[in-house]
């Protein structure tokens, strides 16, 4: 087995450290990208939910106005019948 050149053995450990750091940095970047995608998906879901809630509130308000009119007519009818 040929001997390892002196310069190679001096650079081996730092090279391994740099390689490990690069791998960890790549994995961290992928995880951050995945989290950012998840956050974007949650924002989209939240916007859709808010839009549905706004539509439901519009419907409830219109129902409430219609009910208010019916209550007014009922009160007027009862007031007219009262002595």
Alpha-carbon distance 13 to 26, whole Å?
20
pLDDT at 44 over 80: yes
Beta carbons within 8 Å of 61's beta carbon, 6+ residues apart: none
**What is the CA angle 12-9-14, rounded to 5?**
30
Q: What pLDDT sits at residue 1?
A: 65
For 2-23, write each residue's pLDDT tens digit. 777 777 778 888 899 999 999 9
pTM: predicted TM-score of the whole model, two decimal places:
0.61
Q: Is the dihedral of CA 15, 18, 20, 22 positive or negative?
A: negative
């Amino acid at each position: 087995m040929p001997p390892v050149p002196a310069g190679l053995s001096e650079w081996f450990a730092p090279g391994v450290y740099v390689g490990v750091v690069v791998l960890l940095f790549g994995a961290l970047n992928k995880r951050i990208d995945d989290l950012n995608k998840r956050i974007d998906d949650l924002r989209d879901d939240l916007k859709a939910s808010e839009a549905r809630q706004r539509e439901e509130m519009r419907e409830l308000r219109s129902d409430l106005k219609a009910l208010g009119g019916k209550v007014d007519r009922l009160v007027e009818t009862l007031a007219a019948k009262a002595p």
